[in-house]
Structure 1
Amino acid sequence: SLPWTPRLVGLLDRARGSLGELAGLLRTLPNPYLFIQPFVHKEAVLSSRIEGTQAGLVEVYALEAQAPLFPLGETREDAKEVLNYIRALEQGRELLRELPLSLRVLREMHAVLLQGVRGQSRAPGEFRRGQNWIGPPGSSLAEARYVPPPPQAMREALDALERFWHQDHGLPPLVEIALTHYQFEAIHPFLDGNGRIGRLLITLMLLERKLLPEPALYLSAYFERHRNTYYDLLLEVSQKGAWEAWLAFFLQGVQTEAEDAVRKAQNLVELRQTWRERYQREGSSAHLLALVDLLFQQPLLTVPWVRERLGVTHAWANRLVNRLVQDGILEPMGQSRRNRPFAATAILEILEV
């Protein structure tokens, strides 16, 4: 039985309220896809950063826009992992259109997550067949901080988790998601990528349980800011059954990040409206207005990217980009003249605050 203390009840009510406000806002957005993409990227960056990657939003957007020689080296590899996180989420959402939440969905997401990146030799899409453990780099099983169940017990635990998803247990959905995240991380069924899949599972369940219409809650921001507490509380559930502390932490995170997402979404909507009204008053071309909208999906871009997305000539794409540079909406980055990246810094600043 869960410890339904007055503190937990209050946290649950506040988390529900903040999440409901975010859901309501998302349903009123003029073009949800444009505004959701920045949040998806933010969640992917921060969830991956918990696992040690260093790529930020700028590096990820630069890789997407195929800006030459940017990002470089290790950061480029990190950015590839972040993009795989986004693709894994897209794969999960696509599968949920036809399938219930299931172990199959998790395996297929995992295969996408590790495709072509550093974990590609770690059995993408397959549950582990050997023992793993969690500890400092290079630590042995004897030195492990936590040892997940061996393969046979792991499989039984996964089957129980899948049954739990489809039982009518009467738990509030947010509590169910918090329990699921802990249980998945405790089982640790993959050789690599367990943390990221576990956090993707939170996003999928928010969508599948109809708590959000779009994946706009970047709970990894809260986990990353409180990384040590996040790990410690998960471990304390395993060692001491400390459910109340974990649930309180999770619900506080939902409230905090939902309120932050509402502020950011409102700021992005206002910024888009300001820019569009300006160019509509001036009688600017439909292509310029379309490019303004695209900035919210891809706030770092190149002229070839604009040419391809808008279906215009290179000269016209260059003219559109230069207009936004002259108006202070885009800023050139780096010294390269060929395929030079340009950033909508106002959008990036809203996301990074």
Structure 2
Amino acid sequence: MMAALAALETFLHADVDLPVPVIAGLVHAQFETIHPFVDGNGRIGRLLITFLLCQRGLLRRPLLYLSHYLKRHRRQYYDRLMAVRDHGDWEGWLKFFLKGVGEVANQATETARQILRLREGHRQLLSERIATLNAQRLLDYLYQRPMVTAGLVAKTLEVSPPTANSLVNQFCDIGLLTERTGRRRNRLFSYEPYLKLFEDEAGEPSDEESSTQPSIVTAPTATMIEA
């Protein structure tokens, strides 16, 4: 196993004349084949994709996640990985992987457009309903932290607790914030219109689910690097 991991590390640092998304696909498949940990291999393998795209300059921030795509196509995902292990079918795996990268990138672009439209719409709403500078400042802050308390609002905007409470209540009245706890004290508020843009029925693939699938490898290998 250590030899396989060392070979993977060598490949990561090698000057390989391949597109970065292809390299990310090769690295992910090989890491999942090596399967070095008792638990968490799936999560780490998916993070490797995003980190590699950032490290190679294709992403400025880690904003591209394939987790939901892999969950929606779970059976095909495992079948493609097994085909690499059993038959060396890297082409089939890469076609599947790169299709996912394209779909997720398009979804991320559309989500970004929706965020811009939402922000402009809510700025207009505030100008009509709560025409204060602090209201606009709170809206801007919610795009950094979409779940807040009145105390956090007071600290961030540098206003008094009564002013923060009044502002939060006004945001609730016009539908920008929703109280989540049902309590009278220590309440937590969420910017639901923004959070809903990121909802996905597929959810995050779990490593428990992947552990129920057939083992991808019977012994540590480095077929990608040796080929």
Contact 2:123 2:136 in 1 (8 A): yes
Alpha-carbon offset, residue 231 of structure 1: 2.2
Query: Aligned residue for 1:339?
Result: 186
Supply the distance in 2 between the matched residues of 1:315 and 1:250 (Cα, whole angstroms). Answer: 52
Query: Aligned residue for 1:190?
Result: 37
1:299 is matched by which residue type in structure 2?
Answer: P
2:111 is matched by which residue type in structure 1?
Answer: K
Alignment of 1:111-190 (within 5 A): 154-190=1-37
Query: Aligned residue for 1:113?
Result: none
User: 1:106-161: CA deviations, max 9, x gaps?
Assistant: xxxxxxxxxxxxxxxxxxxxxxxxxxxxxxxxxxxxxxxxxxxxxxxx11111111
2:100 is matched by which residue type in structure 1?
Answer: G
Query: Aligned residue for 1:303?
Result: 150
Alpha-carbon offset, residue 237 of structure 1: 1.0
Supply the distance in 2 between the matched residues of 1:294 and 1:315 (Cα, whole angstroms). Answer: 19
User: Is the alpha carbon distance of 1:237 and 1:268 closer, same or farther for their aligned partners in structure 2, counting shifts above 3 Å?
Assistant: same
Q: Which one of the candidate residues 149, 164, 168 is aligned to 1:317?
A: 164
Alignment of 1:226-305 (within 5 A): 226-280=73-127, 284-305=131-152
Higher Cα radius of gyration: 2
User: 1:195-239: CA deviations, max 9, x gaps?
Assistant: 111111111111111111122212111011112222222122112
User: Is the alpha carbon distance of 1:282 and 1:337 closer, same or farther for their aligned partners in structure 2, counting shifts above 3 Å?
Assistant: closer
**Structure 1, unaligned runs of 5 or more:** 1-153
Supply the distance in 1 between the matched residues of 2:38 and 2:130 (Cα, whole angstroms). Answer: 56
User: 1:48-69: CA deviations, max 9, x gaps?
Assistant: xxxxxxxxxxxxxxxxxxxxxx
Percentage identity across aligned positions? 45
Supply the distance in 2 between the matched residues of 1:189 and 1:316 (Cα, whole angstroms). Answer: 53
- Aligned to 2:143, the other structure's residue is in SS state helix
Alpha-carbon offset, residue 334 of structure 1: 4.0
2:180 is matched by which residue type in structure 1?
Answer: M
- Aligned to 2:6, the other structure's residue is in SS state helix
2:194 is matched by which residue type in structure 1?
Answer: I
Supply the distance in 1 between the matched residues of 2:169 and 2:129 (Cα, whole angstroms). Answer: 17
Alpha-carbon offset, residue 192 of structure 1: 2.3
Contact 2:28 2:46 in 1 (8 A): yes
1:223 and 2:70 correspond:
yes
Alpha-carbon offset, residue 283 of structure 1: 7.5
The one of the two structures with greater contact order (alpha-carbon pairs below 8 A, sep at least 6) is 2
Aligned Cα RMSD in Å? 1.9
Alpha-carbon offset, residue 321 of structure 1: 0.6
Supply the distance in 1 between the matched residues of 2:189 and 2:125 (Cα, whole angstroms). Answer: 20
Supply the distance in 1 between the matched residues of 2:162 and 2:148 (Cα, whole angstroms). Answer: 16
Query: Aligned residue for 1:143?
Result: none
Paired residues, number: 200
Supply the distance in 2 between the matched residues of 1:190 and 1:235 (Cα, whole angstroms). Answer: 18
Normalised TM-score (structure 1): 0.53
Query: Aligned residue for 2:211?
Result: none
Supply the distance in 2 between the matched residues of 1:222 and 1:351 (Cα, whole angstroms). Answer: 14
Q: Which one of the candidate residues 17, 39, 53 is aligned to 1:206?
A: 53
Supply the distance in 2 between the matched residues of 1:194 and 1:310 (Cα, whole angstroms). Answer: 41
Supply the distance in 2 between the matched residues of 1:206 and 1:274 (Cα, whole angstroms). Answer: 33
Normalised TM-score (structure 2): 0.80
Alpha-carbon offset, residue 282 of structure 1: 6.6
- Aligned to 2:76, the other structure's residue is in SS state helix
2:9 is matched by which residue type in structure 1?
Answer: E
